[in-house]
């Protein structure tokens, strides 16, 4: 018998994402949710994962989560720190990255991502931060994991702008566009885990987090979302996973002088 | 040949209205002091370039110094939006801001192309994205050997690049370390360059492959200790994360922002005085 441990939906999301990072993988990490999940994996089952940040650190082992993509803690414990052009030219475009780990502002059913604008490009309603490294991470990494909170605002029928390619219009369209990397293999949210359906490459629900209903997932998705036939329940976080995650966040909040733990 | 100047002399001599200016730094060694001096001297119609415009670009944009921005990620890292940047793009305040938007990989390659005296950069980029539909600067080229279609984008050639570095020796040779970003490429891509520095030393004692910019590729060297704060200088001081959070509320409101710029930048003589004003504010807040 295992003890019941309470946790919140963000913790479930981060733990699910961390579990997907295999030990020894070469992982190109985005800041924020991806960085939290990647470092959790490193502290749990994947001590030999190689974390690459776009600011230049290769083999980063930050003691606390970086607040920005270029925090000094990333450089201090890294195997090496190279210039930003080198990161993108030799290491990413050079084909040395197994997994690209990305976040998103908006995502569609083929896991294309928008982090550029909401509304018309030239007269945007909301100007988002922009592409960063994502357009090339999503095409050059052998595999892509996407971590994003699920809502009608983030899971949309049609993107206002495609910043980074997923499976484009589905089917064979990604390969037809000449994109070398294999594309997104999972989208991890605070409600569920989605995987691409073979052939169509539409993302469908592969496992539902404990306590979440299928109806709630439908309500928080801007398209008619489908579920795998044998869609199961996500394994809840273990006490160990939660302890390591909470320790990491507490250390991070203390180190950055922040009142609330960062995600 | 590097000339020793005060920062105000360097900006007056080397940054003109209408120039294309890059103040580079990938969250580390961001030349805040130089950005403040550009605002203080009232430069207008600048075309700014930076991979990761953050607070200092938000300040330059909100102060009305820039008409144009070439960039690849514009946000307050770990906090959220750049509100002055968004206000300029979404509502044209204080002046409209024209954007040339690229990806990190593209801009990094474009600086390399600029430093290499090439007119454009080639990369495997933007496949499947909407960029080509909205930007005349993102085009493609066919490899003459393999037939592969690749992205082609114009190189970046700033009129002036400004960076901050840790050390300079007596001759003006500059050493920087830690997260290097694109600073070396940005200096070598530019027609003119200004380097603000933490510390002057007799000898750099740099390892043979260290990132050293020889004095003869730098126009002006300015001693500005703490000149990268609130960002950090590896080996000297940490990032002021609290200020990055405070900036969110300062920058949200046009009037609060304008008052902040007046008190902290326009009404201070130089960066040393700015630091004194900031420290007093910190002390007052600590007491309250």
Looking up residue B223, the CATH number of its domain turns out to be 3.40.1080.10
Look at residue A3 in the predicted model and tell me its pLDDT: 56
Residue identified by tokens 């990989």 is B105
Nearest to A85 among B52, B72, B182 (CB): B182
How many domains does chain B divide into? 2
Are B201 and B246 members of one domain? yes
Return residues 246-285 of B near A (CB < 8 Å): none
Which residues are CB-contacts of A100 (< 8 A; sequence separation ≥ 6)?
A27, A28, A137, A138, A140, A141, A143, A144, A145, A181
For chain B, what is the mean pLDDT? 96
Chain A residue with CA closest to B186: the answer is: A85
Q: How many CA atoms lie within 13 A of B6 on its CB side?
A: 8
| Residues paired with A196 in a beta bridge | A203
Q: Does residue B113 lie in a domain region?
A: no
Look at residue A67 in the predicted model and tell me its pLDDT: 81
Q: Which domains does chain A have, with CATH numbers?
A: 9-254 (3.40.1080.10)
Instruction: Indicate the helix (H) or strand (E) that contains B196.
Output: strand B192-200
Are B197 and B217 members of one domain? yes
Which among B251, B231, B252 has a CA at the least distance from the CA of B241? B231
Candidate list A54, A143, A202, A241, residue with the active-site label: A54
CB contact under 8 A, B134 and A121: yes
Look at residue A263 in the predicted model and tell me its pLDDT: 44
Least confidently predicted of A49-58, A252-261, B157-166: A252-261
Tell me, what's the ipTM? 0.94
Evaluate whether B165 touches B199 at the Cβ level (below 8 Å): no
Q: Does residue B81 lie in a domain region?
A: yes
Range of the domain at B173: 3-102+157-279
Which residues are CB-contacts of B209 (< 8 A; sequence separation ≥ 6)?
none
Backbone angles phi, psi at B71, to 5 degrees: -160, 170
The C-alpha of B220 sits at a distance from chain A's nearest C-alpha, in angstroms, of 23
Q: Is residue A178 pLDDT above 80, yes or no? A: yes
- How far apart are alpha carbons A263 and A10 in whole angstroms? 8
Are B142 and B169 members of one domain? no
Nearest to B108 among A72, A84, A122 (CB): A84
Tell me the percentage of chain A whose pLDDT exceeds 90. 86
Are B7 and B143 members of one domain? no
Residues in chain A with CB shorter than 8 Å from the CB of B84 are: none
| Residues paired with A124 in a beta bridge | A119
Look at residue B77 in the predicted model and tell me its pLDDT: 87
Are B137 and B164 members of one domain? no
Q: Does residue B52 lie in a domain region?
A: yes
Evaluate whether A159 touches A108 at the Cβ level (below 8 Å): yes
Tell me the percentage of chain A whose pLDDT exceeds 70. 96
The C-alpha of A4 sits at a distance from chain B's nearest C-alpha, in angstroms, of 33
Residues in chain B with CB shorter than 8 Å from the CB of A56 are: 26, 179-181
Q: How many CA atoms lie within 13 A of B262 on its CB side?
A: 6
The C-alpha of B77 sits at a distance from chain A's nearest C-alpha, in angstroms, of 5
Q: Does residue B240 lie in a domain region?
A: yes
Residues B59-112 pLDDT 10s: 999 999 999 999 999 999 889 999 999 999 999 999 999 999 999 999 999 999
Residues B23-43 pLDDT 10s: 999 999 999 999 999 999 999
Are B40 and B127 members of one domain? no
- Reported as a pLDDT band with limits 50, 70 and 90, residue A262 is very low
Are B71 and B193 members of one domain? yes
- How far apart are alpha carbons A81 and B179 in whole angstroms? 7
Nearest to B105 among A93, A168, A262 (CB): A93
Evaluate whether B83 touches B251 at the Cβ level (below 8 Å): yes
For A89-119, give one letter per residue: b (16+ CB within 10 A) or e: bebbbeebbbbbbbbbbbbbbbbbbbbbbbe
For chain A, what is the largest distance between any 2 Cα atoms, rounded to a whole number of angstroms?
58
Are B139 and B252 members of one domain? no
Q: Is residue A252 pLDDT above 70, yes or no? A: yes
Residues in chain A with CB shorter than 8 Å from the CB of B123 are: 88-89, 93, 136
Chain A residue with CA closest to B115: the answer is: A85
How far from B255 is each of A198, B62, B229, CA to CA, in Å? 54, 11, 24
Helix crossing, B271-287 with B32-40: angle to 10°? 110
Are B140 and B9 members of one domain? no
**Six-digit token string for A113:** 């991502």
Rounded to an integer, the average pLDDT of A37-65 is 96
Return residues 178-217 of A near B (CB < 8 Å): 178-180
Q: Does residue B272 lie in a domain region?
A: yes
Look at residue B51 in the predicted model and tell me its pLDDT: 98
Return residues 42-81 of A near B (CB < 8 Å): 54-57, 66-72, 74-75, 81
Rounded to an integer, the average pLDDT of A245-256 is 91
Q: Is A54 a residue of the active site? A: yes
- How far apart are alpha carbons A214 and A98 in whole angstroms? 32
Look at residue A76 in the predicted model and tell me its pLDDT: 86
Q: Does residue B109 lie in a domain region?
A: no
**Six-digit token string for A227:** 């579920």
**For chain B, where are the alpha helices, taking DSSP H only?**
7-14, 32-40, 55-62, 83-91, 104-115, 131-134, 183-189, 241-252, 254-261, 271-287
Nearest to A136 among B73, B105, B242 (CB): B105
Evaluate whether A215 touches A191 at the Cβ level (below 8 Å): no
Rounded to an integer, the average pLDDT of A165-189 is 96
Residues in chain B with CB shorter than 8 Å from the CB of A169 are: none
Are B18 and B142 members of one domain? no
Rounded to an integer, the average pLDDT of A193-201 is 98
Evaluate whether B153 touches B20 at the Cβ level (below 8 Å): no
Are B224 and B133 members of one domain? no
Q: Kindly give the parts of chain B with pLDDT less than 50.
A: none
Q: Is residue A74 pLDDT above 90, yes or no? A: no
Q: Does residue B44 lie in a domain region?
A: yes
Q: Does residue B55 lie in a domain region?
A: yes
Are B146 and B163 members of one domain? no
Nearest to B127 among A81, A125, A139 (CB): A139
Chain B touched by A6 (CB under 8 Å): no
* Strand ranges (E), chain A: 26-29, 50-53, 57-58, 80-81, 99-102, 106-107, 113-114, 117-119, 124-127, 143-147, 184-188, 192-196, 203-208, 227-233
Residues in chain A with CB shorter than 8 Å from the CB of B71 are: 130
């Amino acid at each position: 018998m295992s003890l019941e441990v309470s946790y919140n939906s963000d913790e479930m999301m981060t733990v699910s994402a961390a579990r997907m990072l295999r030990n020894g993988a070469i992982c190109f990490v985005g800041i924020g949710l991806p960085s939290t999940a990647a470092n959790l994996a490193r502290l749990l089952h994947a001590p030999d994962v190689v974390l690459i940040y776009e600011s230049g650190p290769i083999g980063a082992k930050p003691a606390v989560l970086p607040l920005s993509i270029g925090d000094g803690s990333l450089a201090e414990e890294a195997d090496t720190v190279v210039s930003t052009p080198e990161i993108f030219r030799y290491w990413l475009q050079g084909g040395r990255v197994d997994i690209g780990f990305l976040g998103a502002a908006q995502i569609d059913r083929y896991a294309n991502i928008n982090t550029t604008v909401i509304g018309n490009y030239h007269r945007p309603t909301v100007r988002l931060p922009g592409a960063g490294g994502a357009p090339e991470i999503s095409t050059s990494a052998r595999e892509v994991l996407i971590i994003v909170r699920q809502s009608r605002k983030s899971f949309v029928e049609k993107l206002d702008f495609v910043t980074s390619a997923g499976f484009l219009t589905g089917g064979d369209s990604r390969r037809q566009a000449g994109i070398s990397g294999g594309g997104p293999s999972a989208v991890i949210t605070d409600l569920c885990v989605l995987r691409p359906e073979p052939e169509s490459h539409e993302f469908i629900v592969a496992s539902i987090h404990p306590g979440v209903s299928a109806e709630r997932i439908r309500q928080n998705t801007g398209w008619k979302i489908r579920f795998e036939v044998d869609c199961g329940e996500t394994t809840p976080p273990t006490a160990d996973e939660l302890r390591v995650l909470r320790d990491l966040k507490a250390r991070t909040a203390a180190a950055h002088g922040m009142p609330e733990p960062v995600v | 040949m590097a000339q020793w100047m005060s920062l105000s002399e360097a900006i007056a001599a080397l940054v003109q209205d209408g120039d294309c200016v890059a103040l580079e730094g990938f969250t580390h060694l961001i030349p805040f002091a130089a950005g403040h001096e550009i605002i203080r001297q009232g430069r207008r119609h600048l075309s700014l370039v930076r991979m990761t415009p953050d607070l200092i670009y938000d300040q330059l944009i909100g102060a009305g110094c820039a008409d144009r921005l070439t960039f690849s990620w514009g946000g307050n890292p770990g906090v959220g939006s750049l509100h002055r940047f968004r206000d300029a793009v979404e509502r044209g305040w204080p002046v409209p801001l024209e954007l040339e938007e690229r990806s990190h990989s593209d801009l990094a390659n474009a600086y390399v192309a600029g430093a290499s005296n090439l007119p454009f950069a080639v990369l495997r980029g933007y496949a499947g994205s909407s960029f080509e539909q909205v930007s005349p600067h993102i085009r493609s080229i066919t490899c003459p050997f393999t037939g592969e279609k690749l992205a082609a984008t114009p190189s970046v050639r700033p009129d002036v690049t400004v960076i901050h570095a840790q050390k300079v020796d007596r001759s003006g040779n500059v050493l920087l370390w830690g997260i290097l970003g694109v600073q070396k490429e940005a200096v070598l891509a530019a027609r003119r360059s200004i380097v603000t520095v933490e510390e002057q030393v007799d000898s750099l004692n740099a390892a043979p492959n260290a990132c050293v910019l020889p004095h003869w590729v730098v126009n002006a060297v300015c001693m500005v200790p703490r000149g990268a704060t609130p960002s950090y200088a590896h080996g000297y001081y940490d990032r002021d994360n609290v200020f990055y959070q405070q900036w969110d509320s300062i920058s949200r409101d046009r009037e609060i922002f304008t008052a902040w710029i007046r008190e902290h930048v326009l009404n201070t003589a130089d960066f040393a005085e700015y630091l004194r004003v900031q420290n007093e504010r910190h002390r007052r807040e600590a007491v309250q």
